[in-house]
Amino acid sequence: MVDEYHEGFHEHAEDFLRQLPKGVFITTKDADGRVNTMTIAWGHIGVIWGRPVFIAYVRYSRYTYDLLVNAEDYTINVPKEGTMKKELALCGTKSGRDIDKFEKASLKLAPARKVQSPIIAECALQYECKMLYTQTQEPALIDDKVKERYYPTHDTHIMFFGEIVDSYLTEGD
């Protein structure tokens, strides 16, 4: 039996899953007030521990990782299909350590409804997630062909399990 949880998280899952391989934004605000966004194309949406959950994969080398380990939550910001290609490319190739991605990509932040991390106003679908659990990947257990393709420098991912506490459509571009 499933505990009480946010009911609407799955309503737009098909649109989300279609966009994910093309890129979505993960945005977080850490305990020190630093805010960053990054393009991700890997993730899972589902139910675990009786709660709707999004699992984000972020490499240890990323600035976003530094913020996520010091944050209580994050948002997943999903562009309308076929839009924001330049913004996704910039936020997937440039580091927030070096530039202000929001300024460079002309992204507007807006307050989330239930978490401290902001949303990206131009995106059409928002998932607000409270941190539940983190899990490191065990490199010895990863298939050798997967390691060769995705981890030639041994820069593996940490998984951030976030309970989806709200999801909704916004105007977006």
CATH for 63: 2.30.110.10
Domain hosting 87: range is: 7-169
The pLDDT tens digits of the residues spanning 95-153 come to 999 999 999 999 999 999 999 999 999 999 999 999 999 999 899 999 999 999 999 99
Q: How many domains in the chain?
A: 1
> Considering the domain boundaries, does residue 144 fall inside one?
yes
Q: What are φ and ψ of residue 91, in 5° steps? A: -75, -10
Q: β-strands 24-29, 43-48: how paired?
A: unpaired
pLDDT attached to residue 14? 87
- The rounded percent of the chain whose pLDDT value lies above 90 is 83
> Considering the domain boundaries, does residue 157 fall inside one?
yes
The pLDDT tens digits of the residues spanning 36-60 come to 999 999 999 999 999 999 999 999 9
The pLDDT tens digits of the residues spanning 54-94 come to 999 999 999 999 999 999 999 999 999 999 999 999 999 99
> Considering the domain boundaries, does residue 1 fall inside one?
no
> Considering the domain boundaries, does residue 2 fall inside one?
no
> Considering the domain boundaries, does residue 14 fall inside one?
yes
